[in-house]
Amino acid sequence: MRYIYIITLVILASTTLGSAQFDHFDLSQSCMDEAQKLIGSEEINACVPISSFASLISNSKSENEEAAMKTMADSICGLPKCSDSLVASTQKDFRAACQQDLKAKNDLANSIDAAIALYSPLRDSICFKNSTDGYCFIESYTSLKQINDKAPKNQSPVLTFAGASNEQVCTPCNKAITNTFNNYQKVHPEAFTAIQGYSDKDVETAKNALTGKCGESFLDGQIGDTKQKPSEFQQQSSPNKSDASSLIANGLSLATFVGSLIALI
């Protein structure tokens, strides 16, 4: 399930960090030490409650996946955002200590690195709330999961996306999240290279797919009002007809689409 790739990665990476169970991840000693340092850092825990993630997750074991995500989001969004300088120094230290692991494309090291590089848009995206006061990313995750579950097995993500209804894709929440990442990318293109399988071309394709489906105004750089009712929002944006043919023509690069832009939803 790559749809909420990045967000799940962050949560997974944080949970792994929180539970301090690195054994089966095959990290180098210096990288493991650095990860332990992150977990124990008071400064980091003041804005990302890593050390409490493990207990949050184990306490919510009996609940469903969405309840667990909500608990994590409540704890992240209840704290102030980390400063840019803390994020930058954390990234620098992590990359130095985990140089070898990143080079070897270790999954956990890569996830943590991407999570740090994209901390700012991630944190913003995790905290958006919808018209019924639920978390946007959970709404998006649930609806993308439905889209995916309904699609025939092994169908290309292109066809699945092209066949999804505008009501499911063109929502105030998805607009806020995609514009948050899009705006961040304009200023910090280098942050995105930390995502495995990321390419500019795929993101362009993804953007065209989204505007084809939801109208040019969908990616206008505005976060908009995530609390607006989706039905009202859709009446206002009146998108052009879904551009399924260009999606299919771009099938190959769209495969990574799921891993890049929509994936961030």
Ligand X SMILES: *[C@@H]1O[C@H](CO)[C@@H](O)[C@H](O)[C@H]1NC(C)=O
Tell me which residues touch ligand X (CB under 6 A).
Answer: 130-132, 134-135, 138-139, 215-217, 230, 238-240
Please give the Cα distance from 118 to 82 (Å, whole number).
Answer: 12
Residue 73: half-sphere exposure toward Cβ, Cα within 13 Å: 22
In the complex with ligand X, the residue whose CB is nearer, 163 or 230, is 230
In the complex with ligand X, the residue whose CB is nearer, 19 or 228, is 228
In the complex with ligand X, the residue whose CB is nearer, 90 or 234, is 234
In the complex with ligand X, the residue whose CB is nearer, 224 or 230, is 230
DSSP, res 211: H
Please give the Cα distance from 183 to 237 (Å, whole number).
Answer: 20
Least distance in Å: CB of 138 to ligand X? 4
Please give the Cα distance from 219 to 249 (Å, whole number).
Answer: 21
Task: Record the tokens describing residue 208, joined without a space.
Answer: 């065209």
Closest residue to ligand X, Cβ-based?
134
In the complex with ligand X, the residue whose CB is nearer, 148 or 217, is 217
Nearest residue to 212 (alpha-carbon basis) of 169, 265, 259: 169
Nearest residue to 261 (alpha-carbon basis) of 157, 147, 181: 181
Least distance in Å: CB of 231 to ligand X? 9
Least distance in Å: CB of 1 to ligand X? 17
Residue reference for tokens 């994936």: 263
Least distance in Å: CB of 137 to ligand X? 8
Least distance in Å: CB of 169 to ligand X? 13
Please give the Cα distance from 79 to 239 (Å, whole number).
Answer: 37
